[in-house]
Amino acid sequence: MRRVSGRVYVPDARGQYRAYRALWVKEGRVAGLEPGRGEGEAILPGFHDAHVHVWKVGQLLTDLLDLRGVDSLDRLAELLRERDRRLPPGAWLLGRGWNEAVLGAWPSRAFLDAVVPGRPVVLTRTCAHIHLANTKAMEAAGVGPKTVSPSGGEVRYQEGLFLERAFGLLERAIPPRTLEDYRRYVLAGAHHLLAHGVTSALEPGADPLLLEAYRSLDREGRLPLRVSVLALVRPDGEDTLYPLPEPYRSDRLVIAGVKFFADGGLSGASAAVSRPYREVGGRGVLRLSAEELFDLALPAHEKGLFVATHAIGDVAILEVLRAYARLYRAKPSPLRHRLEHFGLPDPKGLILARALGVWAVTQPIFLEELRENFLRYLPEGFMPRCYNLARVEKAGVFLAFSSDAPVVRQVSPLRGALAAWRSPLWGKGLPLARGLFYYTQPEASGLPQARLWPGHRADLVVFDRDPFLHPEEARVARVEVDGVAVFAG
């Protein structure tokens, strides 16, 4: 039995925090709580990031050129030339994170051809829904001026841009990742999350090889945090489907859901919306209709796998909810399906989401890091509904918060909760305590609750000072999973 003293904050089922002066840990679980208000370090339940690409975070930390925050085409060219000099002949130059709102302009195929003429280059936009390629990369993929865009995607050959499912045309030519690559990326990403107090996470989309990487790490006892993994069913640019995964559950790993994409990203103006975007026009890309999603998701629903679907625009959100309603009618089930992002729900979407009891898994940090994109592209009149978290909460929709990193640089749940509080585009934000509570919803991902109640796993984060009193200054000092320290700052 071990006593952990300080100011221990434990939320009840409604998200109201109560302070204790210590908790007791025995065999990896909370054995008891001591009443009273403690002093010193602040101890909170370990955070859950309900939508974070763990392996992609790790890939950016290890192999990819990180372009997030690059603020000019000149600086982008400088970074590309530097990486070009370091790579061996014939290797592909891959990067991620550019944002035209930060760069000050859209990069193009001609720009890449001029900067790096001697090797294939593919740069993924920060949202991962738009990709930029040079001529050599397109030649390697067999893409030319007459290439036909696939359903749910678009090839803009002259610009070198590949939107949504069209990326599959490029991806088939990029040197494939190996099992060991995936394992390295997962471990690097997991340790990065732990350093920010995240003790459990959901990996939103894994192909069969990534699923095996997770299973192999779990079998070896090497996963340092708890992960729920959503299996991909429909790969980009392909008509064939991956087989449904076999359910898997251990103390550290759960495979119990599948992932689909109904539209694109809001920051790049490809989410499916009912009114034209400002500045760029168009109404985004609807990748799946309600009927198509129902047909794709029904086998998973019948097998007992929960369904998570990327849906940001109001059009996509309604299509997904209609598909979910059909799933529940076809086979009544206690499964609580999910909508990933839920960025622009209209009143009908809020009502239907509440009626169906689905999870809305959203990203408050977008309000800070992607704010300029939203202000630039949002359709007329859409500002009041854009990631309006207080509005979603008031509608009674089940909420779980996340980062969607590496779409954004910031993975800290504390920073996300601060954004939910201080950075709404419209109306009032959510109080800090509410934001932190929505980062403690592992049940949204098929993982057990972890709120420091007696009997729960001792997954906790220790701050050097009270985040409720000093949110800007508080830093993660220690993180424990099963009562064992896995990070010390």
Predicted pLDDT at 453: 94
Report how far residue 414's alpha carbon sits from residue 405's, in angstroms, rounded to the nearest whole number: 14
CA dihedral 162, 165, 169, 172 (to 10 degrees): 120
Q: How far apart, in whole angstroms, are the C-alpha atoms of residue 172 and residue 342?
A: 30
Classify residue 308 as left (phi > 0), alpha (psi -120 to 50) or beta: beta
Cα(104)–Cα(341) distance, integer angstroms: 26
Q: Could you count the other beta carbons within 10 Å of the beta carbon of residue 324?
A: 27
pLDDT tens-digit readout, 323-368: 999 999 999 999 999 999 999 999 999 999 999 999 999 999 999 9
Say which residues have a Cβ less than 8 Å from residue 251's Cβ, sequence separation at least 6.
226, 482
pLDDT of 237 reads: 66
Residue 114 CB contacts under 8 Å (≥ 6 apart), including other chains: none
Read off the pLDDT of residues 109-121 as tens digits, 9 standing for 90 and up. Answer: 999 999 999 999 9
pLDDT of residue 38: 86
CA dihedral 409, 412, 415, 419 (to 10 degrees): 70
What's the confidence (pLDDT) of residue 211? 98
- Mean pLDDT score, 129-142: 94
Q: Name residues whose C-beta falls within 8 Å of residue 401's C-beta, 6 or more positions apart in sequence.
A: 50, 361, 362, 363, 364, 413, 416, 417, 420, 435, 438, 439, 441
* Structural domains of the chain sorted by starting position, each given as residue range(s) with its CATH number in brackets: 2-45+455-488 (2.30.40.10), 64-171 (3.10.310.70), 177-445 (3.20.20.140)
Asked if 387 contacts 362 with a C-beta cutoff of 8 angstroms, the reply is: yes
Residue written as token pair 């529940």: 328
Q: What pLDDT digit, counting tens, does each position of 238-273 carry?
A: 678 999 999 999 999 999 999 999 999 999 999 999
pLDDT for residue 463 is more than 90: yes
Tokens linked to 52: 């974070």
The Cα-based distances of 105 to 70, 71, 92, 111 in angstroms read 12, 10, 24, 11
Q: Which of 97-111, 182-196, 380-394 is the least confident region? A: 97-111
DSSP secondary-structure letter at 53? Answer: -
What band does 164 get if pLDDT is binned at 50, 70 and 90? confident
Considering only 7-11, 168-172, 294-298, 408-412, which range has the smallest mean pLDDT? Answer: 168-172
pLDDT at 370: 95
- What's the predicted TM-score (pTM) here? 0.94
Alpha helices in 274-346 (DSSP H): 290-303, 314-330
Distance in angstroms (rounded) separating the CA atoms of residues 112 and 117 = 7
Lowest model confidence (mean pLDDT) among 231-240, 314-323, 441-450: 231-240
Closest CA to 293 of 307, 313, 278, 275: 307
Cα dihedral sign, 425-428-432-436: negative
Element (H, E) at 65: strand 65-66
CA-based R_g, the chain, Å = 22
Instruction: Of 119-133, 184-198, 236-250, 394-408, give the lowest mean pLDDT range.
Output: 236-250
> What average pLDDT does the chain have?
95
Find residue 476's DSSP bridge partners: 463
The three-point CA angle 165-168-172 to 5° equals 175
In sequence order, what DSSP letters do the residues of 126-162 get, joined into one string? Answer: TTSSEEEE-HHHHHHTT--TTPPPPTTEEEETTTTEE
